[in-house]
Amino acid sequence: MKILNKQIINDVAGVKITQLDILAPDIAAKAAPGQFIMLMASENGERIPLTLVDTDKLKGTVSLIFQEAGFTTRSLGRLNSGDVLYSLVGPLGHPTEIKKYGKIILVGGGVGIAEILPVARALKKAGNQVTTILGSRNKELLILEEELKSTSDQFYVMTDDGSYGRKGFTTDMLKELLDKDKYDLVYSVGPIPMMKKVAETTRAYNIKTLVSLNALMVDATGMCGCCRVTVGKEVKFSCIDGPDFDGHGVDWDELQKRNKVYSVQEKHICNLFPAS
């Protein structure tokens, strides 16, 4: 649970994205793409889930990439190499189903791009033809471009302001590709509105679409039900049934609302302990 390496991936315009490499041999030995961990930054801390971005089985490390969005991710961002997390447990959730699908499109947005990376690598290795579409507000905020480019057969960047790649949403490019060619799988991680739009886009083309959900969790072993989501009219627990689900079945509005259930407290605690 000791942090061996810390790297600030991005720190511009109020967006701070950090990578931590943490010593956790038992987790590293078993983790597969798509799985996550739960951690506590300090003894009084909250338990939060983060997707595993990379593992090094030889060194026994796991890598996490997170954007400082709330109190806990901010606390985590203040830890340095040599610091020890109070709690780290995993690997949790089902791994993403890795097999040869054929032609696939990966759609990543924001810090979700980091979570796409391990899946992209595994799907590429499994013999798939990989097309990646990344979305970002602007050029500066784009992360892991080189890493994803090198694992993709086709690679596109969409920015909101057109400062890099093409101007527009990831789904604009997605639609273009789907109009031109036949694909076997779309896999998407990013902000809820983006994943929702991806699922809406692919529905018309009847393409299997997997999304990795980021519901709130407490224990993450199936005991609290905080992470329950409705998928295809059934209630599922993201922690033990997911985190990957059929994007066409997800009740996105419910998930969006449930993820905001503590927004008042989040604001309060962030104001109480402002950034140093």
Partner 1 sequence: MKKEPVKVKEASAEIRVGNFAEVVQGYSEEEALAESSRCLQCKNPLCTSGCPVGIDIKKFIYHITQKNYQAAYFTIREKSNFPSICGRVCPAEYQCRKECILTKKGSPFASEQAINIHFLERFIGDYGKNNNLNVPEEKEERFTKFKVAVVGSGPAGLCCAGELARKGVKVDIFESLHKTGGVLRYGIPPFRLPWDILDFEINYLKKLGVNFITNFLVGKAKAVKELFSEGYSAVFLGLGAGVPSFLGIPGENSCNIYSVNEFLTRVNLMSAYKFPEFHTPVNIGKHVLIVGGGNTAMDSARVALRLQKLKGYPLNTTVIYRRTEVEMPARRLEIEHAKEEGIKFEFLVQPKEFIADEQGFVKKLICLKSKLGEPDSSGRRRPVIIEGSEFELDCDLCVIAVGLKANQILINATPDLKTDKYSDVIVDSESMESSIKGVFAGGDIVGGEGTVIEAMGMAKKAAQSIIGELSGR
**Site membership for partner 1, residue 240 (CB under 8 A):** yes
Choose the stretch contacting partner 1; rule: CB under 8 A; options: 85-93, 98-106, 130-138, 157-165: 85-93
Binding partner 1 (rule: CB under 8 A), the pick from 127, 162, 222, 232 is 222
Binding partner 1 (rule: CB under 8 A), the pick from 4, 6, 87, 137 is 87
**Site membership for partner 1, residue 84 (CB under 8 A):** no
**Site membership for partner 1, residue 224 (CB under 8 A):** yes
State in angstroms the smallest separation of the CB of 253 from partner 1. Answer: 8
Other Cβ atoms closer than 10 A to 235: 11
**Site membership for partner 1, residue 145 (CB under 8 A):** no
Q: Are 152 and 120 in contact (CB under 8 A)?
A: yes
Those residues with Cβ within 8 angstroms of residue 223's Cβ, 6 or more apart along the chain or in another chain = none
Q: How far apart are CA 167 and CA 157, in angstroms?
A: 9
State in angstroms the smallest separation of the CB of 72 from partner 1. Answer: 6
State in angstroms the smallest separation of the CB of 51 from partner 1. Answer: 15
- Name the residue nearer to partner 1 (CB basis): 204 or 272: 272
Cα angle value 235/239/241 (rounded, 5°): 55
Q: 157 pairs with which residues across the strands?
A: 134
**Site membership for partner 1, residue 167 (CB under 8 A):** no
Crossing angle (nearest 10°) for helices 170-180 and 192-203: 20
- Name the residue nearer to partner 1 (CB basis): 72 or 214: 72
Q: How far apart are CA 203 and CA 173, in angstroms?
A: 15
**Site membership for partner 1, residue 139 (CB under 8 A):** no
Q: Are 24 and 104 in contact (CB under 8 A)?
A: no
Distances (CA, A) of 209 to 50, 103, 147, 188, 246: 21, 13, 23, 8, 6
User: Site mask, partner 1, residues 174-213, x = CB under 8 A?
Assistant: ----------------------------------------
State in angstroms the smallest separation of the CB of 254 from partner 1. Answer: 6
Those residues with Cβ within 8 angstroms of residue 141's Cβ, 6 or more apart along the chain or in another chain = 10, 12, 13, 15, 110
How far from chain centre, in Å, is Cα 42?
23
Scanning the structure block, which residue is given the tokens 């931590």? 20
By CB under 8 A, what part of segment 8-67 binds partner 1?
26-27, 29-30, 40, 42, 44-47
Binding partner 1 (rule: CB under 8 A), the pick from 163, 226, 248, 249 is 226
3 state SS of 49: strand
Q: Please give the residue ranges that form the binding site for partner 1 (CB under 8 A).
A: 1, 26-27, 29-30, 40, 42, 44-47, 71-72, 75, 86-92, 218-219, 221-226, 228-230, 235, 240, 251, 253-254, 257-258, 260-262, 265-266, 268-269, 272-273
